[in-house]
Structure 1
Amino acid sequence: MKRTVILSAVAATAMALAVTPQAFAEGKPYKIYLSNNFVGNDWRQQMERVAEVSVKKGPLAGRVDLKIENAEGTVQAQINSLNNIIRSKPDAILIDAASAEALNPTIKKACDAGIVVISFDQVVSEKCAYALESDWTRIPAVMAEWMAKQLNGKGKVFVDRGLAGAPISAQLENGYLEVLKKYPGIEVIGTYNGEYALGPEQAGVASLLAAHPEVDGILTQGYGSGAIKALQDAGRKVVPVTAFSYNVAATTCAQTEGAACILGSNPAYLSSEAIKLAVDILDGKPKPADRHILVNGDFLATNGGAWTSELYPKAVIQKIEIGKNAFPDRPPGLTLPITPDWVEITAEEAAG
């Protein structure tokens, strides 16, 4: 027998207050801090700008009182900053962390005080905090698969090893190699350290070109445009390139005759996603089943829409198009794509 239960307005309100934070119940915006351990590159600056835009428009407009605290680039400075933030009793703290482990006792203190804590980008291991980041297994796998398909399973390639000693560099390199091993006709004939900078990328590729009369593809961990410039300077044909979705990479790939590129994305709007997650949790919506949350940013490719990954069939691969997702009049270090799908952040707003 099915029963229908009707709550009075008073009872319904009382129940809502029992599960809803006081700030929301009183119509006040949530006080949310973003703790950033350093602001010394284009990605971090864009990350902060899109966070500020996200709370002024769309579903978060008027819902968040956002405060950004930049530490001085050391673990201890961020710990000191976090302790001050905790004393101000915010509703939530978002953290781009200086260390995966060292911040844990301070973060536990915040959790114990009833503060929602979300680490993002550079995440922490403390289990009371959510960890929101890009899927670093998926990104190199899709790009290496794209390269293998571009080469029809045969050819000689260079592989960027990133920054010596950086865990993410090793993860990306190993991700490339793991997929390429499935294609015995593809041979890695040279590696270099691109260091996530245009100069070292171009110099590393140029050095390998001098030693190898043939190369059929280049898998970078950085801009890709440095690799293309090295090919051009050496009088070589432009070969397929994997890179990351900086604006200079997208515009170079779109504007270079014969270029074939795929760009992986670690979107700067991870900060926006962290804010939205915090608001959803504070609003009493169902919490994520797992504390570790992977954000799947879109890929950009010169043949986007015409190629689908077999390894990750749900991966969205946008076609690189000037004015849509590549902007010659915007800074080269702008990270693409610019906006999540629940708010409209423009290239102008992201670039500041």
Structure 2
Amino acid sequence: MKFLKTPQSRVAKMLTGASSAVLMLMAGAVSAEAAANCIKGDRKAPYTIGWANIYSVPTWMKQTEATIVDEVERLKKDGLVKDLMVTDAQGNAQTQIQHIQSMIDANVDAIIVIAGSSSALDRVITDACEKGIAVMNFDSLVDTDNLTAKVNTDSHEWGERAAQWLVDKLDGKGKIIIMNGPAGVSVSDGRRQGAQPVLDANKGIEIITETNTEYNAAPAQEAMTSLLFANPDIDGVLSLGGAISAGAVMAFDRQGRELVPVTGENARQFLELWKEKGMQGWATMQPNWLGAFSVYAAVQALEGKDVAKTIKVPIPVIDDSNIQSYLDRADQFPADGYIYSDYDRALFDKLLGQ
């Protein structure tokens, strides 16, 4: 076989040109595949970000919004963000749908959302995605995958590990009460579902009753007080998050009942009661900085970076071995707030690189 020498013949040049064109098309295809979902159209920095909050009253939500605002301010200094549009649906999923629609009508570049319903928002979120808006959904997730990314800890793992700790503390035998977050919220439902296989595998554990309550200490204390009057024998409390655990402990204390092992979350009130009362406790956290990370990831997607459609954030464990390290920073957080872990751009880039 003879190889063509330079100068190239017309045929060789045509073949070379065709090969180059194919390579360019292939490169374009790779680029298109690598681009984050929903991103299309002529969107350029500085961007407008929409934060469609389901409700702002709980302290966890206030702290989370603060991380969003802080990240937006950093991105403004980088010249990447222009404005932040904030709405509050006050717990109403239909109102949240209207707020998201208004953001679509305003042609924001990205929408950050904690869903008030796992299914009701599907249509409006799909509409936003189809219009080229980056949609980041964190914490309470929607059913649809027509968005840029879902960001969350593993709710099933959360419930499984909490349940296993309590089972181990009770040596596989005992009567427990389960305290859930609001029904119909994906985080709350996911944690409960994650706990069930552990409970099924340990027949010596009897679920006396369970209840749903807001992620706030006051309603949780009220709910647990009623349950204490009705149930004289309780060996443990499987509390699946928020300040619910603090409310449960306060109810036990108010009634003069002996404290039992309680699971929970990084609510400052719960961690302080745990230490003060010398009780047996276990906790993890839903980091408030999931909000800040969602903003950062949305901007990275708009800048052409690849963003996976599912981003799993590892959950830490808080137990007797490290609770003091959280309490040492307690004064940096509201009395009814959450002592969350530190975060920075290096952590965010690591999560994006999954």
TM-score by structure 2 length? 0.73
1:333-352 paired onto structure 2 within 5 Å: 333-342=336-345
Q: What is the DSSP-based 3-state SS (H/G/I as helix, E as strand, rest coil) of the residue aligned with 1:117?
A: strand
Rounded to whole Å, the distance in 2 between the matches of 1:111 and 1:165 is 24
- The answer to whether the 8 Å contact 1:60/1:276 transfers is no
1:60-209 paired onto structure 2 within 5 Å: 61-73=78-90, 74-129=92-147, 130-163=149-182, 168-209=187-228
Residue 241 (str. 1) matches residue 241 (str. 2): no
Q: Could you say which residue in structure 2 is the equivalent of 1:40? A: 57
CA 1:62–1:302: 2 relative to 1, 3 Å: farther
Q: Could you say which residue in structure 1 is the equivalent of 2:291? A: 271
Rounded to whole Å, the distance in 2 between the matches of 1:166 and 1:44 is 14
The two structures, once aligned, show a CA RMSD in angstroms of 3.6
Q: Which of 283, 289, 302 is matched with 2:303 structurally?
A: 283
Question: How many percent of aligned residue pairs carry the same amino acid?
Answer: 27
Rounded to whole Å, the distance in 2 between the matches of 1:286 and 1:137 is 27
Shift of 1:163: 4.0
Match of 2:143, as an amino acid?
A: S
Residue 331 (str. 1) matches residue 334 (str. 2): yes
Q: Could you say which residue in structure 2 is the equivalent of 1:294? A: 312
Shift of 1:265: 1.9
Shift of 1:145: 1.2
Shift of 1:59: 11
Q: Could you say which residue in structure 1 is the equivalent of 2:235? A: 216
**For structure 1, which segment, 277-286 or 58-67, has the greater mean C-alpha deviation from structure 2 after superposition?**
58-67
Q: Which has the larger radius of gyration?
A: 2
- The answer to whether the 8 Å contact 2:175/2:207 transfers is yes
Match of 1:86, as an amino acid?
A: I
What does the per-residue CA deviation read over 1:266-288, in whole Å, with 9 as the maximum and x for residues that have no partner? Answer: 22222112112112222322231
Match of 2:251, as an amino acid?
A: A
Rounded to whole Å, the distance in 2 between the matches of 1:334 and 1:141 is 25
How many residues align structurally? 311
What does the per-residue CA deviation read over 1:28-69, in whole Å, with 9 as the maximum and x for residues that have no partner? Answer: 433322222332322222221111112334998543334132
Shift of 1:146: 1.4
- The answer to whether the 8 Å contact 1:193/1:200 transfers is no
Q: Could you say which residue in structure 1 is the equivalent of 2:350? A: none
TM-score by structure 1 length? 0.73
- The answer to whether the 8 Å contact 2:268/2:337 transfers is yes
Shift of 1:246: 1.6
Runs (5+) with no aligned partner, structure 1: 1-14, 305-317, 345-352
What does the per-residue CA deviation read over 1:62-81, in whole Å, with 9 as the maximum and x for residues that have no partner? Answer: 43334132144444544443
- The answer to whether the 8 Å contact 1:35/1:71 transfers is yes
CA 1:255–1:102: 2 relative to 1, 3 Å: same
Rounded to whole Å, the distance in 2 between the matches of 1:230 and 1:171 is 26
Q: Could you say which residue in structure 2 is the equivalent of 1:29? A: 46
Rounded to whole Å, the distance in 2 between the matches of 1:107 and 1:166 is 17
CA 1:342–1:150: 2 relative to 1, 3 Å: farther
Runs (5+) with no aligned partner, structure 2: 1-27, 36-40, 348-354
Rounded to whole Å, the distance in 2 between the matches of 1:211 and 1:71 is 37
Shift of 1:207: 4.0
**Structure with higher helix content:** 2
